[in-house]
Amino acid sequence: MSAPRKMYERKTRYALDPNNNKYRFSQSDNDTDDASDGDCKEYESGKDAEDKNKKIHYYWAKQNLYRLYSTSATKPPDTSLQLLAIEEMEKRYLSNPFPDYVNAQSTPCGYDEEHVKNLICTYVDAILEHCSPGCDDEDMRGDLYVGNAGIAYMFWKMSRSSQTQDLYPALEHAHGFIRNAKANADRYKKRSSERYSFLCGNAGIYAVSAAISHDLKLMQELSDDLMNFKAGIIASKEFLHTKYGCDEVLVGRAGYLAGCYWLNDVMPEKKITDDDLISICQVIIISGREFAKQTKAPLPLMYQYHGTEYLGAAHGLCAILHMLLDSPWFRTDPISAPSAELRDIKKSIDFFLMLQDDEGNFPVALEDLKSGREKRLVHWCHGAPGAVYLLAKAYLIFKEDKYLQALRRSSDLVWNKGFLRKGPGICHGVAGNGYVFLLLYRLTHEPKYLYRAVKYMELLTNPEFKQRARTPDRPHSLYEGVAGTVCFLIDLLDPEQAQFPFMDVFH
């Protein structure tokens, strides 16, 4: 284990002591802090626990927080001291009901395209029934993440696919939803940071509107959309180092960069100049260096969101680094990034890589490693399903096998523990994890990964999933709901062009 990882890693579990058949709080030898007396609790096991099926409370050191776990605390056959995993009362994921890929004969990766299209229509019909763009719903947001702009993006994507463009008048629907989103845009505060908030703010609304206006040949509307989107360029260059954080993907500069890259990709002419892109990247790097220095972080670039040093894609380090790798610096051969910037970006990526555990996952935040409260999630927003895009981009740029091997480990984790009960969405749901395999398939062209992506599609109609999956707060939205699921299914129909929304590593 490397020094930085050892510095922050702290394992807190229950262990069965064979001398008295009691569970006791156990800490690993490399703890940096002592647990308080209140952290150590004992629970009887053996016959008494077997009869009563006792509840076990899992106390987190230094946090005074606990989660309630349910387990039959029976003594294992091997009475030697061993660490026992404490299962949550209800797992976050369903057991994988499918065999893994073996070969094309025994485990074919084909699928019925008409079935996929019918599934798309089922979801789209539900969206049109419950989310009419003209409805006067004060709770209806305009943003990409859970608002009308996200639904507009789904319809725009549908209009671009030869497999789905004839299923609905997709561009017409896209225009209706995006106009409603723009009407709601003034609900957002007029702070300068709101101008470049992409997934959860106005910038994303205007970016998607620009793409739709272009395809509909609405030139004046396109001009207005681009003007409103570009208003975020100046604001994003302002150095605003607040307690909330200004650099991550959902509301910060990295998200605005994602929008810039996407617009330049989908428009026939580049709309955001390389000079502007590099200037924004420079501000992100300055911000990361200053925060890392201030907090004495063990890596050159570090960021925070609302006081937490997140590592995942939604608010954290990996997506910020991904957007830096997407910059014009790394689109030349040789790489044109200044040596200091290249060094800090590469060292930060490699530090992040060292945090990958044996299963292939990543912690939610640096604080989890420092405190021992290691909450491992298998979501796009937090965990391996979001980290894979940084790893894939790093592999394509630096050509180092360690990134590909880390990708494979993460994909195996998602195959085993990624059938989430949180619903079908892309942020923390089944479709978002299914995108992992479409990414690996594009990268390696190995049929195993297409097979796994197909099985994620099949899970959507699995009776157990339909019975046990939770309904998201915004069940028809792009990131939490079925609009994102539709995007995944569209990409499954054309896996060679598949891309998670606004995170294309191949452009």
**All structural domains of the chain with their residue ranges:** 3-84, 249-261+273-416
* 294 DSSP β-pair partners: none
Q: Is 315 annotated as a binding residue?
A: no
Q: Are 289 and 360 in contact (CB under 8 A)?
A: no
Q: Is 40 annotated as a binding residue?
A: no
Tell me what pLDDT residue 370 has: 73
Tell me what pLDDT residue 241 has: 60
Place of tokens 């959860």: 200
Q: DSSP string of 324-377? A: HHTSGGGSSSS--S-HHHHHHHHHHHHHHHHT--TTS---SBHHHHHHS-----
What gap in Å lies between CA 475 and CA 479, rounded to an integer?
Answer: 9
Distances in Å between the alpha carbon of 171 and those of 148, 151, 185, 469, 494? 14, 11, 21, 31, 20
Contacts of 464 (CB under 8 A, 6+ apart): 94, 97
Contacts of 220 (CB under 8 A, 6+ apart): none
Q: What is the pLDDT along the chain (507 residues), one digit of tens a residue?
A: 333 333 333 333 323 333 333 333 333 333 333 333 333 232 233 333 333 332 332 232 223 223 322 333 433 333 332 333 334 434 789 999 999 999 999 999 999 999 999 999 999 999 999 997 666 554 568 999 999 999 999 999 999 999 999 999 999 999 999 999 998 876 655 555 566 899 999 999 999 999 999 999 999 999 999 999 999 999 888 876 666 778 999 999 999 999 999 999 999 999 999 999 999 999 999 999 999 999 999 999 999 999 999 999 999 999 999 999 999 999 999 999 999 999 999 999 999 999 999 999 999 999 887 766 666 899 999 999 999 999 999 999 999 999 999 999 999 999 999 999 999 999 999 999 999 999 999 999 999 999 999 999 999 999 999 999 999 999 999 999 999 999 999 999 999 999 999 999 998
Q: Would you identify the CATH topology of the domain 249-261+273-416? A: Glycosyltransferase (1.50.10)
What gap in Å lies between CA 289 and CA 122, rounded to an integer?
Answer: 48
Q: Are 84 and 15 in contact (CB under 8 A)?
A: yes
What gap in Å lies between CA 504 and CA 431, rounded to an integer?
Answer: 16
Q: Are 363 and 311 in contact (CB under 8 A)?
A: yes
Q: Are 380 and 369 in contact (CB under 8 A)?
A: no
| 58: three-class secondary structure by DSSP | strand
**Other CB atoms within 10 Å distance of the CB of residue 271:** 18
Distances in Å between the alpha carbon of 397 and those of 36, 346, 349, 352? 47, 11, 12, 17
**What are 201's two structure tokens?**
């703010």
What gap in Å lies between CA 113 and CA 105, rounded to an integer?
Answer: 20
Tell me what pLDDT residue 141 has: 81
Q: Is 381 annotated as a binding residue?
A: yes
What gap in Å lies between CA 353 and CA 384, rounded to an integer?
Answer: 11
Tell me what pLDDT residue 18 has: 35
Cα dihedral across residues 394, 395, 399, 400: positive or negative: positive
Find, among 196, 266, 188, the residue nearest to 234 by Cα: 196
Straight-line distance from the first to the last Cα atom of the chain, in angstroms, rounded to the nearest whole number:
35
What are the φ/ψ torsions at residue 68 (nearest 5 degrees)? -90, 125
